[in-house]
Structure 1
Amino acid sequence: MSGLIVTAGRLAHAAYTEGLADHLREDVSRRVLDLLGNSLAAADQEPARVAEAVAAEWGGTPAATSLAGGTRYPAPSAALVNGTLAHALDFDDTHLPSVLHPSAPVLPAALATAQAHGRSGAQLLDAAGLGIELAVRLGMAGYDEELGNSVFFERGLHATAICGAVGAAVASALLQGLDAAGVAHAAGIAASMGSGIIEANRTGGTIKRVHCGWAAHAGVSAADLARHGLTGPPTVVEGRFGFLEAFCGDAGRAGVVVDGFTTEWELPGVFFKPYPCNHFTHAGVDAALRLRAEGLDPDDVVELELGVPTAVLRTIGEPAEEKARPRSGYHAAFSGPYTVAAALLGGGGLGLFHEDFTDEAAADPARLALAAKVRCVPDPECDAIFPRQFPAVLTAVLKDGTRRQARVSANRGGPDNPLSAEELATKFRLNASRRVADPDRIVALVRGLAEAPSTDALTEELSRTR
């Protein structure tokens, strides 16, 4: 019996056997470096502590390294911990227009499986690249052109967790040595495992930080089950009771999943994040930093208007009173008013950094006073661009009645406004410096993964945490 997931499994297995092109391996290695830094920076976060405690309680044969403290767990458990770390600070990469964070669920599954099964660096990069590619294509299948937004998102579903579980399963299955049919079965099994509700974005709760950990865990577990003989439905993507019908209804576009898969790559266009906050806030931050660089004095500001795509208002602008006074540093990362105020007043890292999203920073009177002056509104030009970019326009009204404006159509970190290799390395060093003895050594090891006979040198260096 044929089906789209059977075709995807065959294409993925063939591409993995042949090996990805050098530029794609380099792209994945950049994502590995980014993910490792984000994960190391999140090691003291409460959700990471919870995930590690659960992994320790489960026990099992040590096989793959936890980035939270260097302990080895079974590969599914390590994937749970590391996937939780990867997304805990909302600093992970984003694909558009699927509005999906593909590396956070896929790479932890691939890293854990590669270590547990003794695979080479090139095999890791190839499997991870294919898993990321399939995850974003599943996300794109749920994008509604007429609506101009992800159907997953409109329904309150976290596409990252749902599609990421399937991508993680493909990566893990390839690294476990499954054949094309086995890869398809692993993906079909994982389609029953992915889940994620995004109400926490609106009203609180720390569950969203574990979404990617559970997706990574589900992906490795699905591949394990397939290796032992469990099967998935061949029409799991397009079937009457399949993935797209269940999550997206009539809006699903099944053909996107395999049309151009392994030949027309979405992977290089996935956006890196320069700031550790919800990606919908980034163009507003870019605009605020531009006005600050042009000499705008926050003390002169009477009113600020942040124009954004209509679809993102519910995440970064509503409820307005909550966004103007975020309850915690985590909630501040989903606030348009707060992030604009923090950037105008001057933040860390590449513009804003972790110190700008502590509970203390979120309660800073100066930031709250400026955030209270920000009004979030829909902007027609932004609507026309979204979600292929996350645009914004920031307008400041000053005490003397003058108006200053900055419009950002291509937010920083994407292919139209990329971060350089050195900026990514800087982001990694800042993230990792408090946790590892020699960040530059890890940068070198990641950049050399394509030639590495195994991941042992990298995982050994990562286990030397402070």
Structure 2
Amino acid sequence: MGEPDRDIETGLAKFAAQLRYDDLPANVVHDAKFRILDWIGCALAGTRTEPVRIAAGIAREMSGAPQATAIRQGEKLPMAQAAWLNGLAGHVVEFDDGHRLAVAHPGAVTVPVALAMGEYLGRSGKEIITAVVVGYEILIRLGIAVSPSHYKYWHTTSTCGAFAAEGVAASLLQLNLPAAQMALGVVGTLASGLQETFGTHAKPLNIGHACQSGIQAALLAKAGFTGPHTIVMGKKGFVAATSTDRELTLLEQINNKEFLSHTAFYKMYSSCGHTHSPLDATFSLLQENEISVPAIRDIRIDTYKTSVDLTGQLKNQTEEEAKFSLPYCIACALLYKSVTLAEFTPARLQDPTLLALARKIHIVEDESATRAFPARHANVRIEFADGRVLEKKVEGANDTPQYASLKNKFVSLAVPAVDAATALRIQEMVLDLEQMDNIASLMQKLA
């Protein structure tokens, strides 16, 4: 920990190899435990979905040594395969945390790796927390470095996330600096994930692949496998190949003990993050006004191009599509006053009242909002049959963490997969994670 690293690859490897629990401020530790809890809730809910059912079947066909728990599958898998399946489960319900400037979901590619490897290696709660923070810092800083141009085609959570997953694995394997450098070089060529997958089962598959790649790279490096020292910044490296942006300051400063992990946002809506600013504006209007849904004539939402491109159409054929449909999500907010898992059931997807309202919603690009991206500006304008107009503008979603609300969110996600007593016990264990000498008992609760 010290001066900024001009050699970015060395700085990243040093951070993964040398960060210790005692380096972490109390607020970072506190937040990291809630990050882990939030991801576990998402994963428990995700285990009940069709994509995870399919993937679990394939994982069983390909299984090997029983090393780490496959959440709610009643069995163990090789740790890289467990992280692959659990990573998919944690992202599939679109309720996991994210980072606005990095345009990525840090928990998705860090916590499943930490739990799978930590269980197999017998690591303590403090070591798990430290490894998770390593992953968050790498993903946030690398994501910011290549944004926004990287996000034009690439799924940042899985591309930059592979580097984060490798950092988690390097930390838990206790790699020395040369080995951590090699692991970084290896994972860079495994990084992948395209936005064409959005709205399909393949989107969370990207996350599972990133988790698996991170573990694979770290294990290869530990065994003596080599990779390039210049995988991030080389002429044909990751940044050059996938981005026209070069905002490197935060990458260079990764070892300066100024942590960013707690700046990620927690999702309170089970939908694509690019729907959240308009949803915040809509809920503000609902709180401030009496809104008669039948009296609505038209709704216009002005927002940034990425949101328009990814979420601007009414889509309701599948749960995955609807979570990437801003008209659908806004209609849910107005009709049901919530956008949670309950709003994406087969019955809701075909609700004629909801769909009629969604067809009144029009999404338009606001060029000033596009210029401000990755800040997430949105304006919601509701016009009523009597000519009355309500309007609300937001310049970024509400990202202030409400830890009490996160406890409630966890239970609401977990209880369909486990009973209430088990959910509360898991919550207690995670929020006291630093007291655990070995996370085996936690993983038994998740089995």
Q: One fold, TM greater than 0.5? A: yes
Query: Structure 1 residue 59 and structure 2 residue 63: aligned?
Result: yes
Partner in structure 2 of residue 359 of structure 1: 346
Equivalent residue letter for 1:428: F
Distance (whole Å) between structure 2 residues aligned to residue 296 and residue 261 of structure 1 = 50
Given candidates 276, 280, 288, the residue that maps to 1:286 is 280
2:302 — aligned with what? Answer: 307
Name the structure 2 match of 1:344: 334
Q: Which residue does 1:320 correspond to in 2? A: none
In 2, the alpha carbon distance for the partners of 1:284 and 1:253 equals 28
> Where does residue 263 of structure 1 map in the other structure?
257
Separation of aligned partners in 1, 2:219 and 2:257: 28
Match of 2:405 in 1: 423
Question: Aligned AA for 1:462?
Answer: L
Q: How many angstroms apart in 2 are the aligned matches of 1:330 and 1:361?
A: 13
Instruction: Give the ranges of 4+ consecutive aligned residues of structure 1 lying more than 6 Å apart after TM superposition.
Output: none
Q: 1:369 aligns with which of 332, 351, 356?
A: 356
Is 1:181 the counterpart of 2:178? The answer is yes
User: After the TM superposition, which residues 183-262 of structure 1 pair with which residues of structure 2 at under 5 Å, given as runs?
Assistant: 183-201=180-198, 205-248=200-243, 250-262=244-256
Instruction: Give the Cα–Cα distance (whole angstroms) in 1 for the partners of residues 310 and 181 of structure 2.
Output: 35
For 1:403 and 1:47, locate their aligned partners in 2 and report how far apart those are by CA, in whole Å: 42
Q: C-alpha separation between the residues in 2 aligned to 1:298 and 1:400?
A: 13
Contact 1:68 1:82 in 2 (8 A): no
| Larger displacement relative to structure 2 (109-118 or 356-365) | 356-365
Is the aligned partner of 1:403 residue 2:400? Answer: no
Paired residue for 1:14, among 4, 13, 18? 18
Q: d(CA) in 2 for partners of 1:441 and 1:325?
A: 38
353-362 vs 74-83, which moves further: 353-362
Matched, 1:95 2:99: yes
Structure 1 vs Structure 2: percent identity of aligned residues? Answer: 29
Q: Distance in 2 between matches of 1:17 and 1:428?
A: 25
Provide the C-alpha distance between the structure 2 equivalents of 1:403 and 1:333, rounded to a whole number of angstroms: 27
TM-score by length of 2: 0.94
Q: What CA deviation, in whole Å up to 9, does each residue of 1:252-308 have, x standing for no partner?
A: 344542224452222111011001100010122222222223211111100001111
Q: Distance in 1 between matches of 2:434 and 2:366?
A: 44
Q: In structure 2, what is the Cα distance between the partners aligned to 1:325 and 1:55? A: 30
8 Å CA contact 2:102–2:139 kept in 1: the answer is: no
Answer yes or no: is the 8 Å Cα contact 1:238–1:254 preserved in 2. no
The 2-side partners of 1:99 and 1:386 are apart by 10
Given residue 265 of structure 2, which amino acid in structure 1 is its aligned partner? F
Cα contact 1:385–1:409 (8 A) shared by 2: no
Q: Is the partner of 1:251 in helix, strand or coil?
A: coil
Q: Does 1:458 align with 2:442?
A: yes
SS of the aligned residue for 1:394 comes to: strand
Shift in Å at residue 53 of structure 1?
1.9
Asked if residue 379 in structure 1 is aligned to residue 366 in structure 2, the reply is: yes
Q: Aligned with 2:19: secondary structure?
A: helix
1:158 maps to 155
SS at match of 1:396: strand
Contact 2:16 2:170 in 1 (8 A): no
Letter in 2 for 1:184: Q
Separation in 2, partners of 1:430, 1:397: 34
Once residues 209 and 401 of structure 1 are traced to their aligned partners in structure 2, the CA distance between those partners, rounded to angstroms, is 43
- Cα distance, 1:3 vs. partner? 4.0
Match of 1:442 in 2: 426
Equivalent pair of 1:187/1:232 in contact (CA under 8 Å): yes
Contact 2:15 2:254 in 1 (8 A): no
Partner of 1:146: none
SS at match of 1:24: helix
Give deviations 1:193-223, integer Å, cap 9, x for gaps: 110011133xx53211211111001111111
Contact 2:72 2:446 (C-alpha < 8 Å) held by counterparts: no
For residue 434 of structure 1, report the CA deviation from its aligned partner: 1.3
**Residues of 1 paired with 2:346 and 2:320: CA distance?**
8
Pairing 1:63-142 to 2, within 5 Å after superposition: 63-142=67-146
Gaps of 5+ in 1: 144-149, 318-322
Quick one: structure 1 residues 223 and 262, their matched pair in 2 at CA, closer, same or farther if it must change by over 3 Å? Answer: farther
